[in-house]
Chain A
């Protein structure tokens, strides 16, 4: 009997688990909560300058340092003046708030928090201004270095034999094979995902290019002027830091979105041609956004006509015309 009771009592906590193992979605309170830790951390940032006994608040010193670095950054006024301006305003606020409590023996946590928050804001905005300018300056240098490298490569590579465009190929030059001969290329709304039905159109163009090695093709992407969803625009702007920093209007954002979308669609077509065995150097791709409509955008049919891909046959990159054009361009 005794064994029965021992077994029952032993099982009791297990069976009663419905109360014991209930999952608590709120974790237990940490020993030192984040708020008190932050207050304590700020207090520990007050230092005394040896000699004159003047109090010094580290976050404020760091903010001053960051702002000085931002001001010293070349072209910061050209690339991100608004962040710099906001940083200066935040630092002024932090300096004023600190001046009011610097000489006090006991400082309220709230007052210290005000200084720390304004100083933090000043520091981060100054960093944003400084590194935005640095990024943009180096981006320009990067483009220049890339161009220099490309032209050096072109100059050192062996000159190719001239391949004149003759016979039937000559007849093709200037023709808009998409959509005039092979039909339309269409994409899912608001994306650069091509509809599967259009792949056969690209295949026909690839076959033609393969049979005529002396010609190339220029792919042009166009959109209508319909605004995409606000969410799509925001995603697009966020993904393009240079555009974001220019603080564009909604109309400018829509224009930029359509331009990027049309270019992306043209590149998708170009990539599919490459996948079908056409050399990349025979293909050019460019987007025009909604700047070159072929119909009015006020009707469904008009908008559909404006959303299009055009493929125009051009002389190939090794044709005498292309070689002449390159020579003219390089000076």
Chain B
């Protein structure tokens, strides 16, 4: 008698074969463990400085410095993830470059913060001088 779908033994045999295939295919992928996320705490000082500047509205008063800081942090993160993707430790050169990028990003953020503070004080001063002037409008020529 030829094998057919109406034969329960035949169906069970094929089901087992199909599940075995699925199991092998599905779990074979785990033999190649995905790379683990790198420790990016090294970026924290720059991220903190940038967050502080942005909290003070640096996006408005110093957008270029904010962008520069963000770009440098992204580049440093890129180096970290590149090593993680290759599942290796950072080389001394990479570590050095990350350190320099983070130091530079912190400087960008510091500059952005100071520019923002100066801008905010200048705006407020112009407003007060406008009131003193009697016009109630901000005075544009406040900066020295």
Contact present for B29 and A22 (CB under 8 Å)? yes
Contact present for A146 and B128 (CB under 8 Å)? yes
Chain A contacts of B90 at CB under 8 A? none
Contact present for A1 and B18 (CB under 8 Å)? no
Chain A contact residues, majority secondary structure: helix
- The total of Cβ contacts below 8 Å across the A-B interface reads 135
Contact of A26 with B4 at beta-carbon distance under 8 Å, contacts A16-B26, A20-B29 already known: no
Contact of A29 with B29 at beta-carbon distance under 8 Å, contacts A4-B14, A24-B34, A145-B129 already known: no
Least Cβ distance of B139 to chain A in Å? 10
Cα of A146 to Cα of B125 in the assembled complex, Å? 9
Chain B contacts of A125 at CB under 8 A? 107
Contact present for B81 and A19 (CB under 8 Å)? no
Contact of A131 with B30 at beta-carbon distance under 8 Å, contacts A29-B82, A145-B132 already known: no
| Binary A-proximity of B36-77 (CB < 8 A = 1, otherwise 0) | 111000000000000010000000000001000001001111
Q: Which residue of A has the minimal Cβ distance to B29?
A: A19
Contact present for A131 and B115 (CB under 8 Å)? yes
What is the size category of the interface that chain B forms with chain A?
35 or more
Chain A contacts of B81 at CB under 8 A? 26-27
Counting CB contacts under 8 A, is B25 at the interface? yes
Contact present for B128 and A145 (CB under 8 Å)? yes
Chain A contacts of B122 at CB under 8 A? 134, 138
Chain B contacts of A120 at CB under 8 A? 104, 107
**CB-CB nearest 4 A-B residue pairs:** A19-B29, A34-B75, A25-B37, A34-B78
Q: Could you list which residues of chain A lie within 8 angstroms of chain B, going by C-beta atoms?
A: 1, 4-5, 8, 11-12, 15-20, 22-27, 29-30, 33-35, 37-38, 73-74, 117, 120-121, 124-125, 127-128, 131-132, 134-135, 137-139, 141-142, 145-146, 148-149, 152, 238, 241
